[in-house]
Amino acid sequence: MKTDEILSIWLNSAMYVLSCFMFFSIILHAEEGVNWCNHTHDSNYVLEWDETNSKDLSERTLLVKNKLSGNIFAILKGEASYEPADHFYIDDYNFDGCQDISWVNGMNANGDVTYEVFLYSKASSTFIYSDDLSVIPNLKISQQPNCLSGSSAKTYGDFFGGTNSTYCWINSTLVETERSELSMDTEHMCSKSQKYRLNSDGHLNLQKESCESF
Protein backbone atom coordinates (compact mmCIF):
# COMPACT_ATOMS: atom_id res chain seq x y z
CA MET A 1 0.00 0.00 0.00
CA LYS A 2 1.32 3.38 -0.95
CA THR A 3 2.21 6.02 1.60
CA ASP A 4 -0.40 8.48 0.32
CA GLU A 5 -3.09 5.80 0.58
CA ILE A 6 -2.11 5.04 4.17
CA LEU A 7 -2.16 8.76 4.99
CA SER A 8 -5.60 9.11 3.39
CA ILE A 9 -6.99 6.20 5.42
CA TRP A 10 -5.49 7.64 8.63
CA LEU A 11 -6.97 11.08 7.97
CA ASN A 12 -10.41 9.62 7.23
CA SER A 13 -10.27 7.56 10.42
CA ALA A 14 -9.22 10.59 12.46
CA MET A 15 -12.04 12.67 11.01
CA TYR A 16 -14.52 9.89 11.80
CA VAL A 17 -13.37 9.67 15.41
CA LEU A 18 -13.48 13.47 15.77
CA SER A 19 -16.99 13.61 14.30
CA CYS A 20 -18.19 10.91 16.69
CA PHE A 21 -16.63 12.74 19.64
CA MET A 22 -18.30 16.02 18.68
CA PHE A 23 -21.62 14.25 18.10
CA PHE A 24 -21.65 12.58 21.50
CA SER A 25 -20.45 15.80 23.17
CA ILE A 26 -23.41 17.65 21.69
CA ILE A 27 -25.78 14.91 22.86
CA LEU A 28 -24.27 15.00 26.37
CA HIS A 29 -24.55 18.79 26.59
CA ALA A 30 -28.15 18.71 25.31
CA GLU A 31 -29.01 15.97 27.81
CA GLU A 32 -27.55 18.04 30.65
CA GLY A 33 -29.68 20.97 29.48
CA VAL A 34 -32.79 18.79 29.60
CA ASN A 35 -31.85 17.68 33.11
CA TRP A 36 -31.45 21.30 34.19
CA CYS A 37 -34.93 22.19 32.94
CA ASN A 38 -36.37 19.06 34.56
CA HIS A 39 -35.48 20.55 37.96
CA THR A 40 -32.88 17.89 38.75
CA HIS A 41 -30.10 20.46 39.19
CA ASP A 42 -30.27 20.27 42.99
CA SER A 43 -28.95 16.70 42.90
CA ASN A 44 -27.10 16.70 39.57
CA TYR A 45 -25.30 20.04 39.62
CA VAL A 46 -23.03 21.99 41.90
CA LEU A 47 -22.32 25.73 41.72
CA GLU A 48 -18.92 26.99 42.81
CA TRP A 49 -16.75 30.05 42.39
CA ASP A 50 -13.68 29.65 40.18
CA GLU A 51 -11.03 31.42 42.23
CA THR A 52 -8.28 30.88 39.65
CA ASN A 53 -10.09 32.81 36.91
CA SER A 54 -11.38 35.66 39.07
CA LYS A 55 -9.37 38.85 38.70
CA ASP A 56 -10.40 40.15 42.10
CA LEU A 57 -13.20 39.82 44.64
CA SER A 58 -15.48 42.13 42.65
CA GLU A 59 -15.16 40.27 39.33
CA ARG A 60 -16.08 36.62 39.69
CA THR A 61 -16.48 33.45 37.64
CA LEU A 62 -19.17 30.94 38.61
CA LEU A 63 -18.90 27.33 37.44
CA VAL A 64 -21.93 25.07 37.03
CA LYS A 65 -20.70 21.47 37.17
CA ASN A 66 -22.33 18.10 36.67
CA LYS A 67 -21.84 16.21 39.94
CA LEU A 68 -21.63 12.78 38.34
CA SER A 69 -19.36 13.50 35.39
CA GLY A 70 -17.50 16.51 36.76
CA ASN A 71 -18.04 18.23 33.42
CA ILE A 72 -18.49 22.00 33.40
CA PHE A 73 -22.02 22.69 32.16
CA ALA A 74 -21.77 26.50 32.22
CA ILE A 75 -19.32 29.30 33.00
CA LEU A 76 -20.84 32.59 34.17
CA LYS A 77 -18.81 35.77 34.62
CA GLY A 78 -19.81 39.06 36.23
CA GLU A 79 -19.47 41.41 39.17
CA ALA A 80 -20.05 40.09 42.68
CA SER A 81 -20.11 41.27 46.26
CA TYR A 82 -16.93 40.92 48.31
CA GLU A 83 -18.30 37.87 50.12
CA PRO A 84 -20.12 36.00 47.36
CA ALA A 85 -19.88 32.43 48.64
CA ASP A 86 -23.36 32.39 50.16
CA HIS A 87 -24.95 34.77 47.71
CA PHE A 88 -25.98 32.98 44.53
CA TYR A 89 -29.56 31.93 43.93
CA ILE A 90 -31.50 29.62 41.63
CA ASP A 91 -35.00 30.69 40.58
CA ASP A 92 -37.20 30.89 37.48
CA TYR A 93 -37.15 34.61 36.71
CA ASN A 94 -38.90 34.40 33.32
CA PHE A 95 -41.31 31.57 34.19
CA ASP A 96 -40.37 29.30 31.30
CA GLY A 97 -39.96 26.18 33.42
CA CYS A 98 -36.15 26.40 33.59
CA GLN A 99 -34.31 27.66 36.63
CA ASP A 100 -32.10 30.72 36.23
CA ILE A 101 -29.09 31.86 38.25
CA SER A 102 -28.37 35.13 40.04
CA TRP A 103 -25.98 36.43 42.65
CA VAL A 104 -25.53 39.60 44.67
CA ASN A 105 -23.20 42.08 42.99
CA GLY A 106 -23.49 44.92 45.46
CA MET A 107 -25.44 47.11 47.87
CA ASN A 108 -25.78 50.89 47.89
CA ALA A 109 -25.82 53.28 50.85
CA ASN A 110 -29.60 52.92 51.21
CA GLY A 111 -29.39 49.14 51.52
CA ASP A 112 -30.67 48.36 48.02
CA VAL A 113 -29.28 45.04 46.77
CA THR A 114 -28.52 44.51 43.09
CA TYR A 115 -27.92 41.24 41.25
CA GLU A 116 -26.25 39.69 38.25
CA VAL A 117 -29.03 37.68 36.59
CA PHE A 118 -28.50 34.95 33.99
CA LEU A 119 -31.54 33.45 32.23
CA TYR A 120 -31.32 29.89 30.95
CA SER A 121 -32.12 29.56 27.25
CA LYS A 122 -33.74 26.30 26.16
CA ALA A 123 -32.90 27.01 22.52
CA SER A 124 -29.14 27.34 23.04
CA SER A 125 -28.78 25.36 26.31
CA THR A 126 -26.81 28.27 27.75
CA PHE A 127 -27.22 30.98 30.37
CA ILE A 128 -27.64 34.50 28.97
CA TYR A 129 -26.99 37.65 31.00
CA SER A 130 -30.17 39.72 31.47
CA ASP A 131 -29.59 43.47 31.33
CA ASP A 132 -33.25 44.17 32.16
CA LEU A 133 -33.35 42.10 35.35
CA SER A 134 -29.87 43.03 36.52
CA VAL A 135 -30.76 46.73 36.85
CA ILE A 136 -33.76 46.06 39.14
CA PRO A 137 -32.81 46.60 42.80
CA ASN A 138 -34.13 44.17 45.44
CA LEU A 139 -35.43 41.83 42.74
CA LYS A 140 -37.98 39.24 43.92
CA ILE A 141 -40.56 36.87 42.47
CA SER A 142 -43.99 38.52 42.76
CA GLN A 143 -47.21 36.83 43.87
CA GLN A 144 -48.75 37.98 40.59
CA PRO A 145 -48.44 35.37 37.82
CA ASN A 146 -45.45 35.90 35.48
CA CYS A 147 -44.35 38.98 37.43
CA LEU A 148 -41.45 40.18 39.57
CA SER A 149 -41.04 43.07 41.97
CA GLY A 150 -38.32 45.60 42.66
CA SER A 151 -37.85 48.44 45.11
CA SER A 152 -35.46 51.24 45.94
CA ALA A 153 -35.15 53.42 49.02
CA LYS A 154 -34.67 57.17 49.23
CA THR A 155 -33.90 59.35 52.23
CA TYR A 156 -34.83 62.99 52.75
CA GLY A 157 -33.14 63.83 56.03
CA ASP A 158 -35.26 62.07 58.66
CA PHE A 159 -37.90 61.13 56.08
CA PHE A 160 -37.73 57.76 54.34
CA GLY A 161 -39.37 57.17 50.98
CA GLY A 162 -38.78 55.14 47.88
CA THR A 163 -40.21 53.31 44.91
CA ASN A 164 -41.90 49.93 44.54
CA SER A 165 -42.44 48.50 41.06
CA THR A 166 -44.01 45.43 39.47
CA TYR A 167 -42.54 43.98 36.28
CA CYS A 168 -44.37 41.37 34.20
CA TRP A 169 -43.42 39.29 31.19
CA ILE A 170 -45.72 40.24 28.30
CA ASN A 171 -45.07 38.47 24.99
CA SER A 172 -41.57 37.51 26.21
CA THR A 173 -40.77 41.16 27.04
CA LEU A 174 -40.25 42.48 30.58
CA VAL A 175 -42.62 45.42 31.17
CA GLU A 176 -43.05 47.64 34.22
CA THR A 177 -46.80 47.45 34.89
CA GLU A 178 -47.15 49.24 38.25
CA ARG A 179 -45.17 51.74 40.28
CA SER A 180 -45.71 53.33 43.69
CA GLU A 181 -43.61 56.28 44.82
CA LEU A 182 -43.33 57.88 48.24
CA SER A 183 -41.42 61.17 48.43
CA MET A 184 -41.23 64.37 50.45
CA ASP A 185 -42.88 67.47 49.02
CA THR A 186 -40.93 70.35 50.56
CA GLU A 187 -43.13 72.98 48.93
CA HIS A 188 -46.30 71.72 50.61
CA MET A 189 -44.53 70.09 53.58
CA CYS A 190 -46.16 66.72 53.11
CA SER A 191 -45.35 63.14 52.18
CA LYS A 192 -46.46 62.60 48.60
CA SER A 193 -47.77 59.21 47.49
CA GLN A 194 -48.16 58.47 43.78
CA LYS A 195 -49.40 55.31 42.07
CA TYR A 196 -48.95 54.53 38.38
CA ARG A 197 -50.36 51.77 36.18
CA LEU A 198 -49.70 50.59 32.65
CA ASN A 199 -52.28 51.80 30.14
CA SER A 200 -53.32 50.35 26.79
CA ASP A 201 -50.73 52.51 25.02
CA GLY A 202 -47.89 50.85 26.92
CA HIS A 203 -47.13 53.82 29.19
CA LEU A 204 -47.36 54.27 32.95
CA ASN A 205 -50.13 56.72 33.83
CA LEU A 206 -50.67 58.39 37.20
CA GLN A 207 -53.74 56.77 38.77
CA LYS A 208 -53.73 58.16 42.29
CA GLU A 209 -51.94 60.92 44.19
CA SER A 210 -52.14 62.10 47.77
CA CYS A 211 -50.12 64.30 50.10
CA GLU A 212 -50.24 63.93 53.87
CA SER A 213 -49.04 66.89 55.91
CA PHE A 214 -46.28 66.38 58.43
Distance CA 67, CA 27 (A): 18
User: How far apart, in Å, are the Cα atoms of 131 and each of 1, 91, 106, 119?
Assistant: 61, 17, 15, 10
- 53-101 pLDDT per residue, tens: 655 667 888 999 988 888 999 999 998 876 545 578 999 999 999 999 9
Task: Calculate Rg over the CA atoms of the chain.
Answer: 25
Distance, in Å, from the CA atom of 67 to the CA atom of 118, rounded to the nearest integer, reads 21
Mean pLDDT of the chain: 82
Q: Are 180 and 164 in contact (CB under 8 A)?
A: yes
Kindly list the domain boundaries of the chain, sorted by start residue.
Answer: 1-136, 142-214
Query: In Å, how far from its chain's centre is CA 6?
Result: 53
Q: Residue 55 has what pLDDT? A: 59
What are the phi and psi torsion angles at 185 (to 5°)?
-95, 100
Q: What is the pTM of this model?
A: 0.78
How far, in Å, CA of 194 to CA of 161, rounded?
11
